[in-house]
């Protein structure tokens, strides 16, 4: 395995409003930004698949007077180390356990979008005792990102064909980079129902770059997507077992979703059935589970409507965050 550092493709990055830092965690160097003062409650922000830390940038501006925010690039994204063959939930979440120890250095709340929400759930279940105080799970595909889930639609019955197509056309570590072929293939190779809602789910993402993909995709190792398509990403991390092990309070924000009547395909990140199962498991473990439904919201609330995201965070954390500052 050859690790790939940001310096190997430095020309793809753009400047941002917050300073970026690198921390050496052993296998990887993780890139991150910090906003807010250390006397405020700590909040770790975990991006979704193909999202760099700066997807949270506008929300950070709204929250930084009330929390100390730590937004990260996960391995395989942005300026963090790319690790061919090593994209699993356990490996990626292990980076975050070490990040909480080395950088945050105190108990923290965690908020994650999509795959980042799955990782937030992992931390709520398996992080060191006392590291995580509570989790905000933003439209995370629990069960729906597994290739053989215990409950509901699988990766292939949901957004999977789109992610797999992108991984195939771009190649691991951008080894193929067929952007023109990717853009042409959407209409030809994706199921019609999935194509119809793709733009709605992705509203609020960055604009296209000169090479024909959004900036965040340019900063992303497409092998991430292949790991989901193959099932490697969840090897050793069954979602049902994981949610049954959650040990802290959780807020789940559920965004756009439909079930296609002709095919039964899940259009959106996660179904009502799957979120209900998550809630039952967390409550059965003795923790509170708060559910907020936003059926008209794109996949990323913090990207599409950072003010609403900030208000949701404040509303939920306001009841107990001050006790842990």
Rounded Cα–Cα distance for residues 55 and 214 (Å): 12
The reported pLDDT for the residue numbered 2 is 81
> For the chain, first and last CA: distance in Å?
41
Determine contact, residues 251/292, Cβ cutoff 8 Å: yes
- Domains (range + CATH), the chain: 6-324 (3.40.50.1820)
The reported pLDDT for the residue numbered 325 is 45
Q: What is the DSSP letter of 23?
A: E
Q: Which residue's structure tokens are 């108990």?
A: 107
194-212: pLDDT as tens digits: 887 766 555 555 566 656 7
Rounded Cα–Cα distance for residues 266 and 194 (Å): 9
Rounded Cα–Cα distance for residues 37 and 142 (Å): 33
Rounded Cα–Cα distance for residues 78 and 220 (Å): 6
Determine contact, residues 68/43, Cβ cutoff 8 Å: yes
pLDDT higher than 90, residue 321 = no
Rounded Cα–Cα distance for residues 233 and 224 (Å): 8
pLDDT higher than 70, residue 301 = yes
Task: Give bridge partners of residue 257 from the DSSP assignment.
Answer: 268
118-177: pLDDT as tens digits: 999 999 999 999 999 999 999 999 999 999 999 999 999 999 999 999 999 999 999 999
Query: For residue 72, what pLDDT band results from cuts at 50, 70 and 90?
Result: very high
Q: Beta strands of 14-99 (E only): which ranges?
A: 20-24, 29-35, 42-46, 68-72
Stretch 16-41: mean pLDDT = 97
The reported pLDDT for the residue numbered 210 is 58
Stretch 85-110: mean pLDDT = 98
The reported pLDDT for the residue numbered 199 is 61
Stretch 99-123: mean pLDDT = 98
Query: For residue 218, what pLDDT band results from cuts at 50, 70 and 90?
Result: very high
Determine contact, residues 318/310, Cβ cutoff 8 Å: no
pLDDT higher than 70, residue 237 = yes
């Amino acid at each position: 395995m050859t690790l790939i550092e940001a310096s190997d493709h430095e020309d793809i990055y753009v400047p941002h409003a917050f300073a970026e830092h690198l921390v050496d965690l052993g296998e990887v160097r993780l890139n991150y930004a910090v906003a807010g003062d250390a006397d405020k409650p700590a909040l770790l922000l975990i991006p979704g698949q193909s999202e760099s830390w700066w997807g949270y940038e506008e929300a950070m501006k709204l929250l930084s007077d009330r929390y100390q925010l730590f937004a990260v690039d996960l391995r395989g994204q942005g300026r963090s180390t790319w690790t061919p063959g090593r994209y699993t939930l356990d490996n990626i979440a292990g980076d975050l356990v070490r990040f909480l120890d080395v950088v945050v250095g105190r108990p923290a709340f965690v908020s994650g979008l999509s795959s980042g929400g799955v990782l937030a759930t992992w931390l709520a279940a398996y992080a060191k005792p006392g590291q995580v105080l509570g989790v905000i799970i933003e439209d995370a595909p629990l069960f729906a990102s597994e290739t053989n889930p215990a409950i509901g639609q699988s990766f292939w019955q949901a957004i999977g064909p789109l992610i797999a197509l992108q991984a195939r056309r771009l190649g691991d570590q951008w080894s193929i980079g067929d952007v023109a072929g990717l853009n042409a293939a959407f209409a030809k190779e994706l199921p019609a129902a999935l194509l119809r809602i793709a733009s709605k789910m992705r509203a609020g993402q960055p604009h296209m770059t000169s090479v024909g993909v959004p900036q965040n995709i340019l900063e992303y190792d497409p092998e991430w997507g292949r790991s989901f398509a193959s099932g490697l990403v969840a090897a050793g991390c069954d979602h049902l077992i994981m949610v049954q092990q959650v040990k802290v309070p959780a807020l789940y924000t559920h965004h756009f979703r439909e079930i296609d009547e002709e095919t039964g395909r899940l259009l959106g990140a996660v179904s009502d059935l799957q979120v209900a199962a998550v809630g039952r498991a967390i409550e059965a473990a003795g923790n509170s589970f708060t559910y907020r439904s936003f059926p008209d919201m794109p996949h990323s609330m913090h990207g599409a409507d950072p003010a609403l995201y900030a208000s949701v965070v404040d509303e939920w954390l306001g009841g107990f965050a001050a006790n842990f500052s």
